[in-house]
Amino acid sequence: MTYNRAFISLQSNLANQPISDPTSEPMFTSSKKNPTLSWVDCLSGARGLIDSLPSALPGDGVNPSLSLVKSGEAIALEPSGQGSALVNGAPLRQRIEISEATTIQLPSALLVAAPSDQHNFAFIRTDLWVLFDAQTGEHLGEFPPQRLLDVAQELGRATDTLACTPQGLEVGFSLSQIAPLLSPQEEAPIRPSGKALLAAEQNRGAHLCPVCWTRFDAGDALSIAVHEDLRGDPILGSDVRLRFQPTRFNDQGLALDPMGLACTDIACPHCRRQLPPGYLDRPHRIISLIGAPSAGKSYYLAVLTRTLQDRLPEDFNLAFKDGDPSGNMLLNQMRNTLFSAATPEDALLGKTALEGATYEKLPRLGRMVSLPRPFIYSISRPGQQRNETSVILYDNAGEHFEPGIDIHDSPGAMHVATSSGLIFLFDPTANARFKSKLVGGDDPQLALKGRVDQQDSILSEMETRMKRVLGLAEDERIKTPLAFVVGKCDTWEKLLSSPLEPVVKSGALDLAAIARNSARVRDVLVMLCPGLVASAESLAEQISYFAATSFGHTPVMIQAGLNKGRIAPDPQRLAPAHVEAPLYWLMHLASPAMFPSSETSAR
């Protein structure tokens, strides 16, 4: 049987044409029988015959939207002015005569009706439907009606490009129009409460998506279409290439898109975001950077990636490479802006806003939310195959950890619960007690007015959220190690009892030096911010304190132009220090073979 879209559009055009006025009475009485109408409900399989007029249609509710009336020797459909119904895929505006099989979509029923002398629908199978291309008529298969929407998604097809009909019928329905009737009406699931509230949302699988932090197996990953005619995804929009579940492969094992082209790119099956090349083939370490707004997180990440590129070959004989050039473009641009600038105005980096360029709207667990873009880099040992690890960094907006931001509507901070390590960046120039110890300095950050120090609140909120996501009790501590970094140490390092020691010696991490440096920084914090130390140490089982500076000098205040009054580094004096030490410590704990310590090397 050949299907095409013409039968839908033709009936829609012809069936809604006005007919001659049937109200004039004939001069004599006909001996013909009254017209009768056969009908079938395509959802329930119920069938029947209507021979008494006027009448309502079965399944049309208490206030019918349509009426069946006699029209000469035939039966006509007439709108009642109540409710809504589609006849042959179009709203019914005027009386139409039923002269052939006609589709009727009601709020709770899908009917096909026809004069009983033409059809009795005895051979219709409502448990098996034919799915086909609404434009070309291409037959795509036969499926139970409750599977049609799933099949459309598996094929990567928008529902408005497909039509369907029960087996044995010559007329059909637009899949997009009948989708609400095909979707099962389920009761809302009861959400778990207490510490299982968010732990229940974690998906199972061998791989963790770096964007939405849900798990999946390799076989569930979506392929990304290559053919230009397949641009447009039903969830992500018309500008994005189609994501689809592959069912055909070439001789090399590459998935073939619906147009037959081989696909090399894959996407997460949950958020549908493209995954970096080779992502499924190596281990990953998420390092989450948290801090208050304006703490300097964007500068820290820009400087950190530049420093790792320069220092890792010398410190650990490791190569630091861009693992996702397109995804890392924003961070690379920030790094280039900072290190290629000629003036402080050119070196100014923008604030990471919740809806800024480092965030993107994607589906997560059934809703569209703002998620931070991951910056993915690979760390490998030259000359050794399969000795490679990805490190995933986030420039998270501090507002995501402010109290009152709903964790479900704005889950951008939830990567902290799946991370291998946490870096909390503390800004001493925002703390009143720190500033009181630095009076007399020429740092313009110390003179800023109106700054509210929310860092203790953000740390407490991070603890609350992580324990909710991980299902931990209030008195439990997380096992994820925490690097507490006191930034801008060029302004306050004179408060340390003694200078910081190098943390790498002879290609290994000196854990004893890290412990001594940690004690020096902790002593300063206990003196000035004892409550903050108590909060941090109640959060994590493993914690070390670090001092770092992204600039290595006193920044300047811009005196003119659009950015007048803002503070920026002098690119000619950039001298970052100690920014890599927190990451070295966290990566040693996560991958000790790649980042050995002097203790492990001696064994």
pLDDT tens for 379-401 read 998 876 667 899 999 876 666 66
Domain boundary among the residues 182, 206, 235 is at 182
pLDDT band at 196 (very low <50, low <70, confident <90, very high): very low
CA 242 to chain centre: 16
Q: Of 503, 513, 510, 501, which Cα lies nearest the Cα of 602? A: 510
39 or 582, which is more confident: 582
**191, part of any domain:** no
**301, part of any domain:** yes
pLDDT per residue over 204-218, tens digit each? Answer: 788 889 988 888 888
Confidence at residue 598, expressed as pLDDT on a 0 to 100 scale? 83
Domain boundary among the residues 228, 246, 279 is at 279
DSSP state of 147: G
Confidence at residue 520, expressed as pLDDT on a 0 to 100 scale? 97
Do 259 and 380 reside in the same domain of the chain? Answer: no
Do 273 and 294 reside in the same domain of the chain? Answer: no
CA distances in angstroms from 384 to 314, 317, 388, 511, 587, listed in the order given: 17, 11, 9, 26, 19
How many independent structural domains does the chain possess?
3
Instruction: Please determine, for residue 191, whether its predicted confidence score (pLDDT) is greater than 60.
Output: no
Do 175 and 95 reside in the same domain of the chain? Answer: yes
Give φ, ψ of 543 to 5 degrees: -145, 140
Q: CATH no. for residue 129?
A: 2.60.200.20
Do 251 and 309 reside in the same domain of the chain? Answer: no
Confidence at residue 398, expressed as pLDDT on a 0 to 100 scale? 61
Instruction: Please determine, for residue 18, whether its predicted confidence score (pLDDT) is greater than 80.
Output: no
Domain boundary among the residues 279, 303, 323 is at 279
How confident is the prediction for the chain on average, in pLDDT?
82
7 or 400, which is more confident: 400
* Region 422-429 average pLDDT: 93
Flag whether the pTM goes above 0.85. Answer: no
Q: DSSP E strands: which ranges in 107-230?
A: 109-115, 125-133, 139-143, 162-167, 173-174, 207-208, 215-216, 222-224
* Region 19-28 average pLDDT: 41
> What is the full DSSP assignment across 517-545?
HHHHHHHHHHHH-HHHHHHHHHHBSSEEE
pLDDT per residue over 443-459, tens digit each? Answer: 788 777 656 677 888 88
Q: Of 257, 259, 262, which Cα lies nearest the Cα of 247? A: 257
Q: CATH no. for residue 415?
A: 3.40.50.300
Domain range spanning residue 153? 6-182
**205, part of any domain:** no
